[in-house]
Amino acid sequence: MSGTIRQISTHARKRSPVSPWSVGAVVIAMMVLIPIGAVIWFALTPTENIWPHLLRTTLPRYLANTAILMVCVGTLTAMIGTGAAWMVVMYRFPGRRVLQWALLMPLAVPAYVGAYALVDFLEYAGPVQTALREIMGWQTARDYWFPGIRTRGAAVLVLSMALYPYVYLLARAAFREQSGAAYEVAQALGAGAFGRFWRVGLPLARPAIAAGVAVVMMETVNDFGTVDFFAVQTLTTGIFSVWLQGGNLGGAAQLATCVLGLIILLVTLEKFSRRKSKFFGSARGLRPVTAAQLHGARAWAVTFCCLIPVLGGFILPVAVLLTHAFDAGQWVAPGLRKALFHTITVGGIAAVLTVLGGVFMVYGVRLSGKRLPALLMPVTAIGYAAPGAVLGLGILVPLAYFDNALADTFVRFGLRDPGLIFTGTAAALVLAYVVRFFAIGQGTADAALGRVAPSLPMAARSLGRSAGGTLRAVHLPLVKASIGSALLLVFVDCVKELPATLLLRPFSYDTLATRVHAKASLEDIAQAAPAALMITLVGLAAVALLARTNR
């Protein structure tokens, strides 16, 4: 009997077609990887090899500045995000209910907008130095000393204030999911507040914190607007210099491969360092952490500590922008509403496609068990490491070739030339966003689906549910909160994305980010303020939904 069943099963596997989930996962992976492959191809086949010249001159400086920014921003965001998350989960203090959501607000402010606001606030003609001169009676800049504003340290500060919510969000979720019994046992054994954090809370939350810091470091490497404004020469600014100013595509692509190498090394080291660190919790009888009530000076000190990141990352930039926006009166400027519509449309479409693609790929890999999709899935995350402009170039050239080939085909058959279907529309921009932020959708889907007990989908399949039916009826209801968070994070990143937008947008197709860049690059913060505030408002709407999803 068992031999007959085995023969039937083997025969069925031979007759069964290729899994559409496996094929779909491979197709999605190839769409994400083709632009990266194009950049690597440009790096391997440069028309003019300037790599020896870069090694002798600017590359050491690019690498040093990039490494220093990564380490400093990663360390500072880990301290701010983890510390804030610990305080809002473990303690009750004045303003806690507001601050636990206000700490997410810097996600709505792009780092380059924060840089413009900080310089405007602290420069010679800004309110700080103006007030100092009036109070002290100074006449010129030679009468007093003021620290330099456009420095590497200022870039670290601005990037940290803009990016720490990535660590805070993941660390807060990790602390909330821990068992209160572990802390009670630690306290009974004599561990103080710091001891419970250092010996219990931090080790259990380390995977989430490491994931947040990895995202922060990738964002730091990819940043162009902030470091360019502060005149810090990094690998990304070098890519722009070599490509746009030097006209050398191959050299720019070679620098881009250095960025990819750094990110791959970073992710590999992070995964290797925690390869044996596995923590499990029982859902039965799990007692949540009970926040301790603080009183007096300690309570207000914790409130102040949680308020500082909000002041630096959100309140200060928004206050500076509001001041200029009221003075400029540019809210009815031509094209501003159209730019807002373009931003929401393109960002929304890209966010939906990114998250749906990530869910489909992860589920397809888990369902099919094929080796090729499983090997391709982690590689798709490297799109997050590619600078937006170089990634845009990797999309622009293949799409331009496809557009020209398609137009030639139409003409060959006597049909009307359709023009540039992809590179002449916002489709290329949507594709760039999907490739750029696919790691968020795929990573979130992988983590969320991994938390679903295998017995649940197995039971659904045994009751006759198809693979797609099991995904809709079992998996999606259980992971909808995580998927919603990923959707909103991708949307906010799309709204703030600048380099790829500048390169791939169709003619006269402005977004809010390109309007801000056009005005701020001329040092005209007053004219950039309305569009920058709209970016912040759009981001705030997403952050509000994100906070509601993670209650």
- pLDDT tens for 326-335 read 765 567 677 7
Q: Are residues 228 and 372 part of one domain? A: no
Q: Are residues 513 and 399 part of one domain? A: yes
As to burial, measured by CB atoms within 10 angstroms (0-12 exposed, 13-18 middle, 19+ buried), residue 171 is: buried
Selection from 65-79, 230-244, 419-433, 471-485 with the highest mean pLDDT = 65-79
Residue 80 has pLDDT above 90, yes or no: yes
Q: Are residues 304 and 398 part of one domain? A: no
Selection from 253, 167, 249 nearest residue 207 by Cα: 167
Tokens of 43: 């790096």
For residue 419, the model assigns a pLDDT of 73
For residue 2, the model assigns a pLDDT of 40
User: Between residues 478 and 214, which one has the greater pLDDT?
Assistant: 214
Asked whether residue 337 is assigned to any structural domain, the reply reads yes
- Whole-angstrom distance, CA of residue 466 vs CA of residue 394: 38
For residue 8, the model assigns a pLDDT of 38
Q: Are residues 147 and 26 part of one domain? A: no
Tokens of 403: 């557009």
Q: What does the DSSP 8-state code read for residue 197? A: I
Tokens of 236: 């990304």
Radius of gyration of the chain (CA): 26
- Whole-angstrom distance, CA of residue 210 vs CA of residue 65: 22
Q: Are residues 426 and 400 part of one domain? A: yes
For residue 10, the model assigns a pLDDT of 45
**Domain boundary, last residue among 297, 328, 359:** 328
Q: Are residues 336 and 324 part of one domain? A: no
For residue 46, the model assigns a pLDDT of 80
- pLDDT tens for 382-409 read 777 666 767 777 887 788 788 888 888 8
For residue 188, the model assigns a pLDDT of 62
Residue 9 has pLDDT above 50, yes or no: no
Asked whether residue 454 is assigned to any structural domain, the reply reads yes
Residue 521 has pLDDT above 80, yes or no: no
Q: Are residues 498 and 356 part of one domain? A: yes
Selection from 78-82, 97-101, 371-375, 447-451 with the highest mean pLDDT = 78-82
- Amino acid, res. 263: I
Residue 189 has pLDDT above 70, yes or no: no
Tokens of 224: 């162009």
* 107: containing domain: 66-279+289-328
Q: What are phi and psi of 329, to 5 degrees?
A: 60, 40
Cα angle for residues 415, 418, 419 (degrees, 5° grid): 135
Which run of H or E residues covers position 336? helix 336-368
Tokens of 164: 């720490």
For residue 394, the model assigns a pLDDT of 81
Residue 181 has pLDDT above 80, yes or no: no
Cα angle for residues 72, 211, 489 (degrees, 5° grid): 100
Residue 24 has pLDDT above 80, yes or no: no
Q: Are residues 402 and 386 part of one domain? A: yes
Q: How confident is the model at residue 147 (pLDDT cuts 50, 70, 90)?
A: confident
For residue 447, the model assigns a pLDDT of 78
Asked whether residue 6 is assigned to any structural domain, the reply reads no
In a 3-state reduction of DSSP, which class is residue 1? coil
User: Between residues 298 and 420, which one has the greater pLDDT?
Assistant: 298
| Beta-bridge partners for 53 | none
For residue 75, the model assigns a pLDDT of 93
For residue 277, the model assigns a pLDDT of 55
Selection from 438, 384, 356, 386 nearest residue 29 by Cα: 438
Q: How many independent structural domains does the chain possess?
A: 2
Selection from 149-153, 249-253, 479-483 with the highest mean pLDDT = 149-153
Asked whether residue 229 is assigned to any structural domain, the reply reads yes
- Amino acid, res. 29: A
Q: Report, as an integer, the average pLDDT of 234-254.
A: 80
Residue 480 has pLDDT above 60, yes or no: yes
DSSP structure string for 376-444 = HHHHGGGGGGS-HHHHHHHHHHHHHHHHHHHHHHHHHTTPPP---SSTTSTHHHHHHHHHHHHHHHHHH
Residue 90 has pLDDT above 80, yes or no: yes
Q: Are residues 482 and 387 part of one domain? A: yes
Q: What share of the chain is helix, strand, coil (3-state, %, to 5)?
A: 75, 0, 20
Number of Cβ atoms within 10 Å of the Cβ of 302: 23
Asked whether residue 2 is assigned to any structural domain, the reply reads no
Q: Are residues 337 and 270 part of one domain? A: no
Q: Are residues 483 and 377 part of one domain? A: yes
User: Between residues 202 and 282, which one has the greater pLDDT?
Assistant: 202
Q: What does the DSSP 8-state code read for residue 313? A: I
- pLDDT tens for 290-333 read 777 888 888 999 999 999 999 999 999 999 988 888 765 567 67
Supply the CATH number for residue 492's domain: 1.10.3720.10
Q: What does the DSSP 8-state code read for residue 108? A: G
Q: What does the DSSP 8-state code read for residue 227? A: H
Residue 128 has pLDDT above 80, yes or no: yes
Quick one: CA torsion of 447, 266, 102, 113, rounded to 10 degrees? -130
- Whole-angstrom distance, CA of residue 377 vs CA of residue 230: 36
DSSP structure string for 33-78 = HHHHHHHHHHHHS-SS--HHHHHHTTHHHHHHHHHHHHHHHHHHHH
- Whole-angstrom distance, CA of residue 435 vs CA of residue 173: 27
For residue 373, the model assigns a pLDDT of 73
- pLDDT tens for 344-388 read 899 999 999 999 888 888 888 877 767 777 777 777 777 776 667
Q: How confident is the model at residue 82 (pLDDT cuts 50, 70, 90)?
A: very high
Asked whether residue 177 is assigned to any structural domain, the reply reads yes
User: Between residues 446 and 131, which one has the greater pLDDT?
Assistant: 131
Q: How confident is the model at residue 190 (pLDDT cuts 50, 70, 90)?
A: low
For residue 549, the model assigns a pLDDT of 63
For residue 183, the model assigns a pLDDT of 63
For residue 350, the model assigns a pLDDT of 93
Query: Which percentage of the chain shows pLDDT scores above 70?
Result: 84
**Residue 29 near residue 376, CB atoms below 8 Å:** yes
Selection from 498, 494, 480, 476 nearest residue 542 by Cα: 494
Asked whether residue 75 is assigned to any structural domain, the reply reads yes
For residue 246, the model assigns a pLDDT of 76
For residue 14, the model assigns a pLDDT of 45
For residue 349, the model assigns a pLDDT of 93
Q: What does the DSSP 8-state code read for residue 141? A: G
Per-residue CA distances from 340 to 79, 134, 147, 347, 539 (Å): 35, 40, 37, 11, 12
**Residue 440 near residue 489, CB atoms below 8 Å:** yes
For residue 522, the model assigns a pLDDT of 76
In a 3-state reduction of DSSP, which class is residue 148? coil
Number of Cβ atoms within 10 Å of the Cβ of 202: 16
Asked whether residue 53 is assigned to any structural domain, the reply reads no
Q: What does the DSSP 8-state code read for residue 401? A: H
Q: Are residues 429 and 293 part of one domain? A: no
